[in-house]
Amino acid sequence: QVQLVESGGGLVKPGGSLRLSCAASGFTFSDYYMNWIRQAPGKGLEWVSYISTTSSFTNYADSVKGRFTISRDNAKNSLYLQMNSLRAEDTAVYYCTRGLPSGYWGQGTLVTVSS
């Protein structure tokens, strides 16, 4: 069955960096666009970024453009999100999702940006 397992979240100070990972299994990873979507505590959903199957195309929400970088390793069935210059407003649960639209979601990993 399809599984998406995020890791790498935690507590980081403003201005710091964090790298999220998503391990995919149960499907041919290289066949699907992948996304990062986040949800601040008690708030709605915010699309963050997506990446095409061969990494040839990526796109970002304006709120993270220039600070976050999405990447993937099809040989390792893994998706990544490098997050730099983190701000308090980046505090959220970050979900790894498959496809457009997001047919499968991981359980999420919590990122807390606080001093």
Partner 1 sequence: EIVLTQSPGTLSLSPGERATLSCRASQSVSSNSLAWYQQKPGQAPRLLIYGASSRATGIPGRFSGSGSETDFTLTITSLEPEDFAVYFCQQYGRSPHTFGQGTKLDIK
- Which residues are near partner 1 by CB under 8 A? 35, 44-47, 50, 59-62, 95, 100-108
Could you give the CA distance from residue 30 to residue 9 in angstroms, rounded to a whole number?
A: 24
Q: Which is nearer to partner 1, 69 or 105 (CB)?
A: 105
Q: Which amino acid is at 41?
A: P
**Least distance to partner 1 from the beta carbon of 49, Å?**
9
Q: Which is nearer to partner 1, 11 or 100 (CB)?
A: 100
**Least distance to partner 1 from the beta carbon of 102, Å?**
6
Q: Which is nearer to partner 1, 16 or 108 (CB)?
A: 108
How far is residue 41 CA from its own chain's centroid? Answer: 16
Q: Which is nearer to partner 1, 83 or 97 (CB)?
A: 97
**Least distance to partner 1 from the beta carbon of 76, Å?**
23
E strands, 1-115, are: 3-7, 10-12, 18-25, 34-39, 45-51, 58-60, 68-73, 78-83, 92-98, 104-105, 109-113
**Least distance to partner 1 from the beta carbon of 28, Å?**
17
Strands 34-39 and 92-98: antiparallel
